[in-house]
């Protein structure tokens, strides 16, 4: 139980384009999901907290107009990187709060490369 999926697993795009990443809780409902970014050999950095049916809460230093988050249902949250630049290249990981233990279950991550 407590499986979280992400799609796509890997994406390469040109600078200036937008990329959407989906995060789904497959076997439980998640009112709260989280988006993280992880650079090589670094820990996870929380970008934003996404609550179903309301606006996301962004961490300090994260541009909400650049990283658009939508949590339209109890099993789906999306992160859209708008006007992507090479410095946005990173490993983006989502997590969902829930399951039998009220903690975060992580997706497999999406590797974004912006050329």
Partner 1 sequence: QKEVEQDPGPLSVPEGAIVSLNCTYSNSAFQYFMWYRQYSRKGPELLMYTYSSGNKEDGRFTAQVDKSSKYISLFIRDSQPSDSATYLCAMSAESGGSNYKLTFGKGTLLTVNP
Task: Give burial (CB, 10 Å; 0-12/13-18/19+) of 48.
Answer: buried
DSSP code of residue 88? G
In angstroms, give the least distance from the CB of 20 to partner 1.
Answer: 18
Per-residue binding string, partner 1, 44-83, x by CB under 8 A, is x-x--x----------------------------------
11 is a site residue for partner 1 (CB under 8 A): no
In angstroms, give the least distance from the CB of 91 to partner 1.
Answer: 7
Token pair in block for residue 78 = 């999306």
In angstroms, give the least distance from the CB of 37 to partner 1.
Answer: 12
Three-class SS string for 40-63?
Answer: CCCCCEEEEEEECCCCCEECCCCC
Q: Report the alpha-carbon distance of residue 91 to residue 38 in Å, rounded.
A: 5
With contacts defined by CB under 8 A, how many residues of the chain interact with partner 1? 25
Binding site for partner 1 (CB under 8 A): 2, 4, 6, 32, 34, 41-44, 46, 49, 91, 93, 95, 97, 101-109, 111
């Amino acid at each position: 139980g407590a499986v979280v999926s992400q799609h796509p697993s890997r994406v390469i795009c040109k600078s200036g384009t937008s990329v959407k990443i989906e995060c789904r809780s497959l076997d439980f409902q998640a009112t709260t999901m989280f988006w993280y970014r992880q650079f090589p050999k670094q820990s996870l950095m929380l970008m934003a907290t996404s609550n179903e049916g309301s606006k996301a809460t962004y961490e300090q230093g994260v541009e909400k107009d650049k990283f658009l988050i939508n949590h339209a249902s109890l099993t789906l949250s999306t992160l859209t990187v708008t006007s992507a630049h090479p410095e946005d290249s990173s490993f983006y990981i989502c997590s969902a709060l829930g399951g039998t233990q009220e903690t975060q279950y992580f997706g497999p991550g999406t590797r974004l490369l912006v050329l």
